[in-house]
Amino acid sequence: GQQLNQSPQSMFIQEGEDVSMNCTSSSIFNTWLWYKQDPGEGPVLLIALYKAGELTSNGRLTAQFGITRKDSFLNISASIPSDVGIYFCAGNSGNTPLVFGKGTRLSVIA
Amino acid sequence: DAGVTQSPTHLIKTRGQHVTLRCSPISGHKSVSWYQQVLGQGPQFIFQYYEKEERGRGNFPDRFSARQFPNYSSELNVNALLLGDSALYLCASSTRRDFYGYTFGSGTRLTVV
């Protein structure tokens, strides 16, 4: 099935550092979502974006809906150990199911 | 409030067997979707049901089927299991008819040997 191009695949960072990850699609999307998945759990929604150019924050997390509607990025500022996990982007257009990226595995070194 | 609950949490099946996975949505949610997440990949859409009617089907073989009951709970059935069916199966529920606003459960880990 279709999956989005998400990068990087994995990251090892020091506690306190900022993190940036992005996602691209070959199709135009109307919605971009960012999820976090912890081991043994389902994905949890972090941020939802519904408009091209939209910049939305949720605490230390900031995400943007690309102007071309084919990309999105997620930034995490001042990372902490509990930020460890797998981050997924997801998007869709119109009334279609969500398409997910392959995920970015984040490891934080204290 | 209880979230989306799935059962069982883990199970092991042999190739060729049949499996039934169960999902109870959040109270008041009428829509249920099923996703398959193979290790190292993002979730892939399998089915969506709203008010007991199938609203969407992903690119999965006919061995996969699902249904939604009057209480909005749902079952995912997979026949003639293959090794490649080993995955985390996620259920998500929503109040909406469309594909937005879903809350995911913790999933059922299926291993086919």
pLDDT, tens digit (0-9, with 9 covering 90-100), for B6-40: 999 999 999 999 999 999 999 999 999 999 999 99
Q: How far is CA B97 from CA A46, B55, B102, B110, in A?
A: 22, 8, 11, 28
pLDDT value at position B14?
98
The torsion angles phi and psi of A102, rounded to 5 degrees, stand at: -85, -10
Whether B66 contacts B55, CB under 8 Å = no
- For the range A39-46, what are the long-range contacts, defined as Cβ-Cβ under 8 Å and sequence gap of 24 or more? A39/A85, A40/B106, A41/B106, A41/B107, A42/B4, A42/B90, A42/B92, A42/B104, A42/B105, A42/B106, A42/B107, A43/A88, A43/B43, A43/B90, A43/B104, A44/B104, A45/B103, A46/A74, A46/A87
| Residue of B104, B106, B108 to mutate when probing chain A, most A C-beta within 10 A | B104
Of A41, A97, A100, nearest to B42 by CB-CB distance is A100
The token pair at A27 is: 């199709």
Q: Which residue, B24, B76, B23, B31, is CA-closest to B51?
A: B31
Across the interface, of A1, A6, A95, the residue whose CB is closest to B58 is A1
pLDDT at A48: 93
Residue (of A103, A110, A108, A99) closest to A21 by Cα position: A103
Q: Tell me which residue in B4, B99, B106 faces A40 most closely, judged by beta carbons.
A: B106
Which residues of chain A are at the B interface, by a Cβ-Cβ cutoff of 8 Å? 1, 3-4, 6, 31, 40-45, 88, 90, 92, 95-103
Q: Do B99 and A40 touch (CB under 8 A)?
A: no
At B99 the pLDDT is 78
B44 touches A: beta carbon within 8 Å: yes
B-chain residues within 8 Å CB-CB of A95? 98-99
- For residues A87 and B102, the model is more confident at A87
Per-residue pLDDT 10s for chain A (110 aa) are 567 999 999 999 999 999 999 999 999 999 999 999 998 899 999 999 999 999 999 999 999 999 999 999 999 999 999 999 999 999 988 788 999 999 999 999 88
* Cβ atoms of residues A8 and A60 within 8 Å: no
Strand A85-92 and strand A104-109: the pairing is: antiparallel
Compute the radius of gyration of chain B from its Cα atoms: 13
The whole-number pLDDT of residue A109 equals 86
Collapsing DSSP states into helix, strand and coil, what is residue A109? strand
How far is it, in rounded angstroms, from Cα B24 to Cα B38?
22
Euclidean distance between CA atoms B15 and A26, whole angstroms: 36
